[in-house]
Amino acid sequence: MDRKIRVLVTGCDGQIGRVLVPALRERHGEMEVVASDLREPEVSGPVATLDVTDADAVRALIAREKPDHVYHLAGVLSAVGERDPGRAWQVNLNGFLNVLEACREHGVSRVFFPSTIAVYGPDAASEATPDDAPTRPTTVYGIAKAAGENLAAWYRRRFNLDVRVLRYPGVIGWESLPGGGTTDYAVEIYHAAVANETYRCPLSAERALPMLAMADAIRGTIDFMAAPAEQIRQSTGYNLGGFSGAPQDFVAAITRLMPTFNVQYQPDHRDQIAASWPAGLDDSAARQDWGWAPQFDIDSLSEEMLAQCAAQLAARAAALAAEVAGRRYDNVERLQRKAG
């Protein structure tokens, strides 16, 4: 990995993409990482607009940029996908097929595909779900991702294209806002706490799910893609585990630091989705094959999340105060000119 690697990221404006792109640019150089999304990304460095459902556009971009590695993050998340299953299928599976075909045609050496715990259904082991558990999902999001895992394995076998798959749990970070996933509550709850707001939780108090700090997700993804090909032994994907947490666990971690924080549990359709997912992941294969090890647990992550969300809130308040002060100064100047 010492030589220069040129990278293309699709879906760079998503929850993970907004954090992954800067990390990749730090590793490979700003000009070697092209950030693409449906609308032109508001970031410095090489950018492109790309609709991954447009096969010709995908082919043209990959032919022009000539990436060595493609991180294919473009996707529609679980809760949004249930409202618009046709769009979710087009983006999450057909979009991935377009990327794979373009990568095969233009000599891309390595492709990253983010899968999810949503590929597992209620017949998979709930605790410590292994990589090889049955994938019979209950959502369109999970169905498309499970099909994508098999598509990745087929391209590896048929065309020797190095397609690598990670199954993410709920990813929690302060760096970007959630994008319509069932586990979004685990980000929203910290923002509510620092804003001194009552949080209305869409999952029941005891609904445990696998979770992962954003910092761990980014580091794990980059390490996974940097690992030698002989260490990647599972063609359909690896579980990426962090810790298991239910809403009541997050509340307990937050109230240890902010005792007055209040939550109201108002389970909705997202609780039904979460009920079909694992409560914990067995990521022993990732640990053994390519050295995966998370660094955050729920308590250390909560401390960091509250500190960072509070800093963001203070920065927004300071910016607003400066804007109001500027308007007041402009109004005073205008009145003085009028009076003079």
Using only C-alpha atoms, the chain has a radius of gyration, in whole angstroms, of: 22
Specify the DSSP class assigned to residue 129.
Answer: B
196 in Cβ contact with 83 (< 8 Å) = no
| Helix axes 298-339 and 247-255, enclosed angle (nearest 10) | 70
> Terminus-to-terminus CA distance in the chain, angstroms?
69
Can 141 be counted among the known catalytic residues?
A: yes
Question: What does the buried/exposed string (b/e) look like for 212-238 if buried means 16 or more CB atoms within 10 Å of the residue's CB?
Answer: bbbbbbbbbbbebbebeeeebebbbbb
| Helix axes 95-105 and 140-159, enclosed angle (nearest 10) | 20
Task: For residues 227 and 224, give the distance between their C-alpha atoms in angstroms, rounded to a whole number.
Answer: 5
In this structure, what is the dihedral angle of CA atoms 171, 174, 180, 185, given to the nearest 10 degrees?
A: 80
Render 287-298 in DSSP notation, one character per residue.
Answer: HHHH-------H
Cα 283 from chain centre: 18
Q: What sign has the CA pseudo-torsion 75, 81, 83, 84?
A: positive
Residue with token string 């307990």 = 252
Task: For residues 121 and 96, give the distance between their C-alpha atoms in angstroms, rounded to a whole number.
Answer: 22
Q: Which of 71, 120, 141, 168 is catalytic?
A: 141
35 Ramachandran zone, left/alpha/beta (phi>0; psi -120 to 50): beta
Task: For residues 68 and 50, give the distance between their C-alpha atoms in angstroms, rounded to a whole number.
Answer: 18
Q: What is the CB neighbour count within 10 angstroms for residue 6?
A: 18
Active site members: 141
